[in-house]
Structure 1
């Protein structure tokens, strides 16, 4: 099995993902929101690059909620921002969520031609690994990044996925993937690694310290969201 890791949503443009399992990561915070919402009973999530597309499609739903952010802040008129702590069972159970974010939903739309497209974060990392180990397809892990640049929070998560898979079977990887696998293997802890990184510190600065604590928890969710026909739903 070969594992490739892409550094940002932009790196997916023009790439073919056919024949591969794709994993999209945006731990701070879009994919953490998706995992949390589906764990709490949301029916499905529709990802969009553009704000107006999300608004227009949500108007057609009788059971829809709008969620999204720009520069980490809730979009005016939306039901939710991008804090996973907002997506409680009481608010989202049985609902359709129409979502647009700065990086995560772009990454998804840029990689939809893969054989399977899974949504990962720290919360469901082992569940995703177990799903990936069910077949021998090569894997592309797409880190959403921040503003089309490398982001340590996503890349560490990608490294942990790689490390867990390489503990089970032989993995072919280049030096970049190997560096992230080794970072994960010898990490002193997620928070210690991420402290001082750009996006982590930015979210702390604008008041999302509680989100950071939640987003860096390991294996508290069992769902494996996957993308199919324009929406993200829970894998069985």
Structure 2
């Protein structure tokens, strides 16, 4: 009898319905840039991050909580919000002790989809908190869904590469019969030593680099620079609440 939990990689939010996620830890992955920004804000002392899936809700919750409203659509800051989705906008000197209310094109949408479909736990992951995510998944003993936020439901490379980095580290602890996971791991193995150059070929890099965000994007593929575990609890992402 196989006692290892299962791990699957979902390459787009459009594919989430194909999986039973009710007994799973779902890792929301949005490397460029939502889950990199979430890890960074919490690492730098944010009290919590409230992820919302619409701009009006973001503005409303900002007023209710007194929080900082932030987010983007199509890579650009949304009119009516105070800040964007750049990790560089949230140094400790600015964000410590604050509530961040965040809405983004892809990542916050997938997070709410996972909650609606009954995930037993939702966390967020990106290269800046890779090790903490991996440690948590191994110790949880639960089935795992690596959920790539993609770009408007279309496959993207950077989220898949992060899934591959996770799988490379933790695969011996899981049963993996999943071609998307195999592909993600092989792709990461091929490119892990040339990530800064390879990532520049991606569609999303070119989309965001056009707005002058190259430093952001380099940061988003830097391993363990904001090594905390954001866990969704009672409507907000908190640092690994016990």
TM-score range, shorter chain: over 0.9
> Aligned match of 1:146 in 137, 151, 160?
151
2:119 corresponds to:
114
Q: Which runs of 4+ in 1 moved over 6 A?
A: none
Q: Residue 32 of structure 1 contacts residue 120 of structure 1 at CA under 8 Å; is this kept in 2? A: yes
Q: Are positions 1:75 and 2:78 aligned together?
A: yes
Tell me how far 1:15 sits from its aligned partner. 5.1
> Aligned match of 1:36 in 31, 37, 40?
40
> 2: CA distance between counterparts of 1:117 and 1:29?
18
Q: Are positions 1:228 and 2:223 aligned together?
A: no
Q: Are positions 1:128 and 2:157 aligned together?
A: no
Tell me how far 1:173 sits from its aligned partner. 2.7
2:180 corresponds to:
176
Tell me how far 1:136 sits from its aligned partner. 2.3
The 1:77/1:201 distance shift into structure 2, 3 A limit, reads: same
2:30 corresponds to:
26
Q: Are positions 1:11 and 2:12 aligned together?
A: no
Q: Residue 13 of structure 1 contacts residue 110 of structure 1 at CA under 8 Å; is this kept in 2? A: no
- Output the TM-score relative to the length of structure 2: 0.92
Tell me how far 1:185 sits from its aligned partner. 2.2
Q: Residue 9 of structure 2 contacts residue 178 of structure 2 at CA under 8 Å; is this kept in 1? A: no
2:161 corresponds to:
156
> 2: CA distance between counterparts of 1:111 and 1:200?
26
> 2: CA distance between counterparts of 1:227 and 1:13?
20
Q: Which protein has the bigger helix share?
A: 2
| SS in structure 2 of the partner of residue 189 of structure 1 | helix
| SS in structure 1 of the partner of residue 51 of structure 2 | strand
Q: Residue 72 of structure 2 contacts residue 78 of structure 2 at CA under 8 Å; is this kept in 1? A: yes
Q: Residue 153 of structure 1 contacts residue 200 of structure 1 at CA under 8 Å; is this kept in 2? A: no
Q: Residue 123 of structure 1 contacts residue 220 of structure 1 at CA under 8 Å; is this kept in 2? A: yes
| SS in structure 2 of the partner of residue 161 of structure 1 | helix
Tell me how far 1:192 sits from its aligned partner. 2.8
> 1: CA distance between counterparts of 2:185 and 2:126?
16
- Count of residue pairs the alignment pairs up: 234
CA-atom RMSD in angstroms: 1.5
Q: Residue 10 of structure 1 contacts residue 107 of structure 1 at CA under 8 Å; is this kept in 2? A: no
Structure 1 unaligned spans of 5+? none
| SS in structure 1 of the partner of residue 147 of structure 2 | strand
| SS in structure 1 of the partner of residue 114 of structure 2 | coil
Tell me how far 1:165 sits from its aligned partner. 0.5
Structure 2 unaligned spans of 5+? none
| SS in structure 1 of the partner of residue 27 of structure 2 | strand
Q: Residue 143 of structure 1 contacts residue 154 of structure 1 at CA under 8 Å; is this kept in 2? A: yes
| SS in structure 1 of the partner of residue 201 of structure 2 | coil
- Output the TM-score relative to the length of structure 1: 0.94
